[in-house]
Structure 1
Amino acid sequence: MCGRFALTSSSADLRNIFSGVDFDDFPARYNIAPTQPILVVIAGEGRERGSNLPDRRAVLVRWGFTPGWVKDPRDFPLLINARAETAIGKASFRAAMRHRRVLIPASGFYEWHRPSKESGGKPQAYWIRPRRGGVVAFAGLMETWSSADGSEVDTGAILTTSASAGISAIHDRMPVVIKPEDFSRWLDCKTQEPREVGDLMQSPQGDFFEAIPVSDKVNKVANMGPDLQEPVVSERTLPAPEKQRPDIGQLSFF
């Protein structure tokens, strides 16, 4: 699951990673929550002949996916995540998987370890970020919902998959991360069928992310400062991530 994330990198950093995308300047966001606007990267509508840059553009959507066939969003559950394993076959996500795959820039995400009631332990929040820093791209889906009066709302969801070894001790799910070399393939909904990009919907290697225990201030949407990511002392010790096998190259997002 992914219920909160952050995007604190500069627009210049995003332009370096998402080649060819013109990002406006924006403030750092340390506590992005469902129903709020999120930045997504989509395939463009065609560049001028001779351009050697990828055809992409950035738009804002509401985090909370609403299928086009829904009559009244108030009567429909808020879909902030979509399971990668089943999204192709789900009525809510089937069309978006085929026609509207997007990338969601993030500096990291928050997750909560919730111990069993029998253990008597307290929930612990974690700030989960790339060990090397920088920006990652979550796999996402987008849908434009149209009301009876003709108004439109662009909505989106984050695809999730089974957590990597380093994160599974906190939660069994995590966002799907798309590598830069796969951006074009993921966004290409004209020639790449959903099943042809299924191999991209994987969790990164166990040591790619690091999990930092933080306070429960992230639970409140009103808290939006960098102090949300300050480490705290946790009673819980996470197991070390699995060692990388020698025959696998280091996963890089830069």
Structure 2
Amino acid sequence: MCGRYTLLAEEAEILQKFGIDRPIDAYEPSYNIAPGQNVLVVIHDGREKRAGYVRWGLVPSWAKDEKIGYKMINARSETAHEKPSFKNLMVRKRCLIIADSFYEWQKTGQEKQPKRIQLANHRLFAFAGLWDRWQRDEKELFTCTILTKDSNHFMKEIHHRMPIILPKDKEDAWIHPQNRQPFEANQFLQALETDELTAYSVSNYVNAAKNNSQACIEPLL
């Protein structure tokens, strides 16, 4: 799964890396991005790529209550093409969720040790995501979920699931505006290989979502 991550890059770096022409409205870096918060995503609207904020925790367009979003921060990539909540989104509402590291809690006995995981080159990356628009009466929400898969060899020692990190050369293909059949989108995801990762232990300070400072990413001595 993926329940916390970071985005510390400068806005200019994000715009350059993902080929975005317009400034990001109200961009703010964060050391501790948590479910329910607004997160930076990139979509392709059919004419250009655009970056903006949506809420983390998918609220499907057909949902009766927006509270469902807190149960849908992740989607299993292996079955997303079959599930009512995600099937149609796999066809036409795919997004990049921008990050530069994520946290996972490694269980050892009764303890859980938070780890910060990054690409080995420490560069920006994108999670494969899905988004949707929900509206009831006068309220409108744009929300997203992060697609996950079984952990690779590196991550298995930390957790049995991991977010799907798109290789640089597959990012545009994932959000290309062409419709994909759900199974085709599933096959695209399952064929991806994860770039090399690295990890180190951080303090339990990161456990509280309200904590958002350099202390979240400081290595344990």
Q: TM-score, normalised on structure 2?
A: 0.92
Q: Distance in 2 between matches of 1:75 and 1:35?
A: 11
Deviations 1:160-207 (A, max 9, x none): 0111211110101111111222222211242433333323344514xx
Structure 2 counterpart of 1:89: 82
Structure 2 counterpart of 1:252: none
Gaps of 5+ in 2: none
Q: Distance in 2 between matches of 1:12 and 1:79?
A: 31
Deviations 1:53-105 (A, max 9, x none): xx200121100001111112236752000000000000111111111000011
Q: Distance in 2 between matches of 1:126 and 1:225?
A: 16
Structure 2 counterpart of 1:43: 44
Q: Distance in 1 between matches of 2:28 and 2:92?
A: 30
- Aligned-residue RMSD, C-alpha: 1.7
CA distance 1:76–1:166, shift in 2 (3 Å)? closer
Question: Do the aligned residues in 1 keep the contact of 2:77 with 2:189 (CA within 8 Å)?
Answer: no
1:204 aligns with 2:194: yes
Structure 2 counterpart SS, 1:143: strand
CA distance 1:87–1:189, shift in 2 (3 Å)? farther
Identity, in percent, stands at 35
Structure 2 counterpart of 1:246: none
* Aligned-residue offset at 1:32: 0.2
Q: Distance in 2 between matches of 1:139 and 1:113?
A: 23
Structure 2 counterpart of 1:131: 120
Aligned pairs, how many? 218
Structure 2 counterpart of 1:70: 63
In terms of Rg, which structure is larger? 1
Structure 2 counterpart of 1:153: 141
Q: Distance in 1 between matches of 2:125 and 2:69?
A: 30
Question: Do the aligned residues in 1 keep the contact of 2:35 with 2:70 (CA within 8 Å)?
Answer: no
Correspondence 1:1-254 to 2 at 5 A: 1-24=1-24, 26-46=27-47, 55-74=48-67, 78-115=71-108, 119=109, 121-147=110-136, 149-197=137-185, 198-201=187-190, 202-205=192-195, 208-233=196-221
Q: Distance in 2 between matches of 1:162 and 1:222?
A: 29
Question: Do the aligned residues in 2 keep the contact of 1:98 with 1:189 (CA within 8 Å)?
Answer: no
Structure 2 counterpart of 1:238: none
* Aligned-residue offset at 1:13: 1.1
CA distance 1:212–1:185, shift in 2 (3 Å)? same
Gaps of 5+ in 1: 47-54, 234-254
Q: Distance in 2 between matches of 1:164 and 1:214?
A: 21
Q: Distance in 2 between matches of 1:155 and 1:186?
A: 18
Q: TM-score, normalised on structure 1?
A: 0.80
Q: Which amino acid aligns with 1:89?
A: E
